[in-house]
């Protein structure tokens, strides 16, 4: 059930509208972070994440840590790569630039394979790049929130495994987990990082991720950075990860213990947020995942057809690269994004402006994920409203 | 008002019991993180933090970031120190060890000044250490959650300013902000880091901190680490902080903008947690701060007198080093901590076990912070219960 308190409907590509039961879980009375009741909740939450990511491999490891989606980048860069490593970053919008920045902070060489706005690197280009250099890691933004471009993770992973089998495959799934199909085991992924506030449908504040047994092995086999720090024994275990907040050394035992229902402490988790995540995941898993992804595809298709029928274009130019949880729409010349968003706001519907800095004023973004998709009449109203606004001025 | 849902009363030194209005704010309907309504809330929250920390200096900067208290250590280590710097860590329990570990991860030499369990380094020892070496920073755990030892920040700061005026003074206030008086400006502090779930009384999930203008200047004047990273231009701005999640370069403009009510984006904050923090801070500031600290002192005094009258000892040996928000109590030989905690749990009251690894089984911890202190009858009940349990077996 959608939140019953009257408020403007939030249809941006995250944070999304939350189910009432999820919001009520946020008000859970205070519990100790090492109480058996909370450990039970945390353990079940981690187990449910395995189902959402479709992994049955016991060597995979889910992580849930207080933080935002960006923390996932630190987890990857601080633990799975070392200063001097080469990483290939596939660019389909704003967020690849930021992930590349994060790598550079850790002294890792990030090579971006860029595509024009609205598209993504071709498989042939990725193949060429992988043949040219030995990359420790390949990163892919599954859905770029700034452009709504969807990348085909399955094909990319097959390609990478064939050309460069040692390369770790890392997916930025912040805007895809919960709305796009992700088969962690079958696609042989090494890491998928995400956040709570998008298609998973839990308020912001949690970094959520899944790492493969292979990724964990790479961390455990990690040597220390080559003479990185002045005056410190370079084989000091503490240097295994060059960040404290993001260190697997700190977090791995905690996640293993919580899932095994053993009280454990590194930093205090947020029981309230984890209760809300538990509620959100239980709702998602109460129905078959394929049905959930189908609902997102159908809703998305409906929106995209309406947009196309008005003669409008999406940023994502090819149908196979259009995300199912959001649509980024180029506005007609005579419609100003700020005015459109204000008009819609007066009708109690919130869409998002552009985020890709080169064309930010020329487009808007419409998020259709989670409860908004399940609760169809409510979405259909907003959908119709947007279409009317976009259609209206031209007819006049 | 305390949470009305029946549940065991949580009297551990954090997370604490939360006020019902704070918990209700956690269920706030979804808002965009760049909406004017949320920006208003975030801006007011940052302004209220200035009041809680008693700073009127406009060059001070509050930070609120999704994360746990540990993130504060990363903020300090990644931004205010550089590999090779020397830091003096005053040790009064478990948490100084962890802060020192965090510094080492960043390549900073942490020298710990240790004291026996239950006490803290003497001013004369600190003076000697500061005269012997040029320390970039002095860190102090205001109240160590593992021991309940309170350090005299005012005197330490006066000493450090006199002996080594360039040394930055950093306070770990995770277990003190909201229950102990902290005069950021008057005491000339450079950083106080804390978390939401203790005496501030907002559910866990937020790292909260205040930095002085001097600390911000140190960050801005920061050179790059000396040849730390292979193959990267050592004067690359991106290397200013060696962590992405904790980087002032990423966060400083965001905090400045939110307070100035300018939409801004680096990572998605948690509107729900920030609403809850707003509610908690508004409640704290609705009464004069001195009255709040007096209430904590009086409650603490009451607990400590009862403990003493039973012939029991606290970990914190000297009255002037006893925290006002918690009490760590050595158990009589014949009382097992686990059995005591179980018996109390059956009466719906939760106290915490020991945390200091050398003596963890020999003591318990009693948190008396925030709503538990304000809501006196409720605390008095638990208080009496504990005393009865401690007193009972001896009488029998």
Q: B263 is written with which tokens?
A: 């939409």
* Yes or no, beta carbons of A27 and B27 under 8 Å apart: yes
For residue A225, pLDDT over 60 is answered with: no
Tens-digit pLDDT profile for residues A53-92: 999 999 999 999 999 999 999 999 989 998 889 999 999 9
* Yes or no, beta carbons of B204 and A29 under 8 Å apart: no
> By CA distance, what is B224's nearest residue in A?
A105
Lowest mean pLDDT: which of A29-38, A116-125, B266-275, B368-377?
Answer: B368-377
Q: In what order do the strands lie in the sheet with B352-353?
A: B326-330, B363-367, B352-353
Stretch A250-274: mean pLDDT, rounded?
93
Residues of A in contact with B86 (CB under 8 A): none
Q: Is A341 on the interface with B (CB under 8 A)?
A: no
Phi first, then psi: what are they for B41, rounded to 5°? -60, -45
Three-state secondary structure along chain A? CECCCCCCEECCCCCCCCEHHHHHHHCCCCCCCCCHHHHHHHHHHHHHHHHHCCCCCCCCEEEEEECCCHHHHHHHHHHHCCCCCEEEEECCCHHHHHHHHHHHHCCCEEEEECCCCCCCCCHHHHHHHHHHCCCCEEEEECEECCCCEECCHHHHHHHHHHHCCCCEEEEECCCCECCECCCCCCCCCCEEEEECCCCCCCCCCEEEEEECHHHHHHHHCCCCCCCCCCCCCCCCHHHCCCCCCCCHHHHHHHHHHHHCCCCCCCCCCCHHHHHHHHHHHHHHHCCCHHHHHHHHHHHHHHHHHHHHHCCCCECCCCHHHECCCEEEEECCCCCCHHHHHHHHHHCCEECEECCCCCCHHHEEEEECCCHHHHCHHHHHHHHHHHHHHHHHHHHC
Residues of B in contact with A106 (CB under 8 A): 229, 242, 244
> A211 pairs with which residues across the strands?
A61, A191
Which helix or strand (DSSP H or E) is residue B364 part of? Answer: strand B363-367
Q: Residue A242: its pLDDT value, please?
A: 60
- Distance between CA atoms of residues A288 and A47, nearest Å: 16
Closest to B158 measured CA to CA, from B188, B138, B179, B115 = B188
Q: Residue B392: its pLDDT value, please?
A: 66
Does the bond joining A234 to the residue before it have cis omega, within 30 degrees of 0? no
With the C-alpha atoms ordered B64, B69, B74, B80, is the resulting torsion angle positive or negative?
positive
Q: Is B375 on the interface with A (CB under 8 A)?
A: no
Helix, strand, coil tally for chain B in percent (to 5)? 40, 15, 40
> By CA distance, what is B18's nearest residue in A?
A30
Q: Residue B172: its pLDDT value, please?
A: 98
Q: Is A69 on the interface with B (CB under 8 A)?
A: yes
Q: Using an 8 Å Cβ cutoff, are A79 and A246 in contact?
A: yes
**Which residues of A contribute to the annotated binding site for substrate?**
365
* Yes or no, beta carbons of A204 and B7 under 8 Å apart: no
For residue A39, pLDDT over 90 is answered with: yes
Q: Does residue B227 or residue A279 have the better pLDDT?
A: A279
Residues 275-304 (A) with a CB less than 8 A from some CB of B: none
With the C-alpha atoms ordered A81, A85, A88, A91, is the resulting torsion angle positive or negative?
positive
Q: Is A14 on the interface with B (CB under 8 A)?
A: yes
Residue/partner pairs of B35-39 with CB below 8 Å, 24 or more apart? B35/A350, B36/B261, B38/B271, B38/B274, B39/B258, B39/B261, B39/B262, B39/B263
For residue A394, pLDDT over 50 is answered with: no
B365 labelled binding-site residue: yes
Q: What is the pTM of this model?
A: 0.94
Distance from CA of A316 to the nearest CA of B (A): 23
Distance from CA of B288 to the nearest CA of A (A): 26
Q: Residue B289: its pLDDT value, please?
A: 97
Closest to A373 measured CA to CA, from A291, A284, A293, A296 = A296
- Distance between CA atoms of residues A359 and A368, nearest Å: 22
Q: Residue A151: its pLDDT value, please?
A: 98
Q: At what angle do helices B289-309 and B376-395 cross, to 10 degrees?
A: 10
Coil vs helix vs strand at B139: strand
Q: Using an 8 Å Cβ cutoff, are B151 and B90 in contact?
A: yes
Per-residue pLDDT of chain B (396 residues; tens, 9 = 90+): 677 788 999 999 999 999 999 999 999 999 999 999 999 999 999 999 999 999 999 999 999 999 999 999 999 998 999 888 999 999 999 999 999 999 988 889 999 999 999 999 999 999 999 999 999 999 999 999 999 999 999 999 999 999 999 999 999 999 999 999 999 999 999 999 999 999 999 999 999 999 999 999 999 887 654 333 222 333 334 445 566 778 888 899 999 999 999 988 889 999 999 999 999 999 999 999 999 999 999 999 999 999 999 999 999 999 999 999 999 999 999 999 999 999 999 999 999 999 988 899 999 999 999 998 877 555 766 777 787 888 765 443
Facing B104 at nearest CB: one of A26, A232, A246 = A232
Lowest mean pLDDT: which of A160-169, A290-299, B63-72, B98-107?
Answer: B98-107
* Yes or no, beta carbons of B77 and A244 under 8 Å apart: yes
* Yes or no, beta carbons of A243 and B243 under 8 Å apart: yes
ipTM for the complex?
0.94
Q: Using an 8 Å Cβ cutoff, are B126 and B159 in contact?
A: yes
Residues of B in contact with A275 (CB under 8 A): none
Facing A268 at nearest CB: one of B17, B68, B245 = B68
Which residues lie below 8 Å from residue B35, measured CB to CB, with a gap of 6+? A350
- Distance between CA atoms of residues B110 and A244, nearest Å: 15
Facing A236 at nearest CB: one of B12, B104, B265 = B104
> By CA distance, what is B235's nearest residue in A?
A105
Residues of A in contact with B204 (CB under 8 A): 33, 66, 268-272
Average pLDDT, chain A: 90
- Distance between CA atoms of residues A273 and A23, nearest Å: 10
Which helix or strand (DSSP H or E) is residue B253 part of? Answer: helix B248-259
- Taking phi over 0 as left and psi of -120 to 50 as alpha, with beta for the rest, A54 belongs to left
Cα–Cα distances (Å) from A368 to A183, A273, A297, in that order, read: 21, 23, 10
Q: Is A138 on the interface with B (CB under 8 A)?
A: no
Residues of B in contact with A230 (CB under 8 A): 83-84, 107, 226
How many Å is the Cα radius of gyration of chain B? 21
- Distance between CA atoms of residues B168 and B212, nearest Å: 10
Cα–Cα distances (Å) from B336 to A32, A109, B233, in that order, read: 20, 55, 59
Task: Kindly list the structural domains of chain A, giving each domain's residue range(s) and its CATH number in brackets, ordered by start.
Answer: 9-15+288-391 (3.90.1150.10), 20-285 (3.40.640.10)
Which helix or strand (DSSP H or E) is residue B87 part of? Answer: strand B86-90
Which residues lie below 8 Å from residue B185, measured CB to CB, with a gap of 6+? B54, B55, B56, B57, B60
């Amino acid at each position: 059930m959608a939140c019953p308190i009257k408020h403007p409907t939030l249809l941006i590509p995250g944070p999304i509208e939350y189910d009432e039961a999820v919001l009520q879980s946020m008000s859970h009375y205070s519990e100790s972070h090492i109480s058996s009741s909370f450990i039970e909740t945390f353990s079940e939450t981690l187990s449910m994440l395995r189902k959402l990511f479709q992994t049955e491999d016991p060597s995979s490891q889910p992580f849930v840590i207080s933080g935002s989606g960006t923390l996932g980048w630190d987890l990857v860069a601080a633990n799975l790569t070392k200063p001097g490593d080469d990483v290939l970053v596939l660019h389909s919008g704003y967020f690849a630039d930021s992930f590349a920045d994060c790598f550079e902070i850790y002294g890792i060489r990030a090579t971006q394979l860029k595509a024009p706005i609205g598209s993504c690197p071709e498989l042939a280009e990725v193949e060429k790049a992988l043949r040219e250099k030995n990359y420790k890691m390949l990163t892919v933004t599954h859905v770029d929130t700034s452009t709504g471009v969807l990348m085909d993770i399955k094909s990319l992973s097959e390609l990478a495994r064939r050309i460069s089998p040692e390369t770790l495959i890392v997916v930025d799934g912040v805007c895809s987990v919960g709305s796009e199909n992700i088969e962690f085991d079958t696609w042989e992924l090494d890491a998928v990082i995400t956040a709570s506030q998008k298609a998973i449908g839990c308020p912001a504040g949690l970094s959520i991720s899944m790492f493969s047994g292979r990724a964990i092995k790479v961390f455990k086999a990690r040597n220390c950075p080559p003479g990185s720090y002045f005056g410190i024994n370079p084989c000091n275990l503490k240097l295994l990860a060059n960040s404290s907040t993001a260190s697997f050394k700190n977090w791995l035992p905690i996640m293993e213990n919580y899932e095994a229902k053993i009280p454990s402490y590194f930093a205090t988790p947020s029981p309230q947020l984890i209760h809300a995540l538990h509620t959100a995941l239980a709702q998602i898993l109460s129905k078959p995942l394929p049905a959930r992804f189908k609902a997102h595809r159908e809703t998305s298709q409906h929106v995209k057809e309406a947009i196309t029928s008005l003669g409008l274009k999406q940023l994502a130019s090819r149908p196979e690269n259009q995300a199912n949880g959001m649509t980024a729409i180029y506005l007609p010349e005579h419609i100003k994004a700020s005015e459109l968003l204000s008009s819609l706001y007066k009708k109690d519907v919130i869409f998002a402006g552009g985020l890709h800095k080169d064309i930010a004023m020329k487009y808007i973004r419409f998020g259709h994920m989670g409860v908004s998709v399940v609760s169809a009449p409510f979405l259909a109203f907003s959908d119709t409203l947007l279409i009317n606004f976009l259609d209206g001025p031209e007819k006049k």
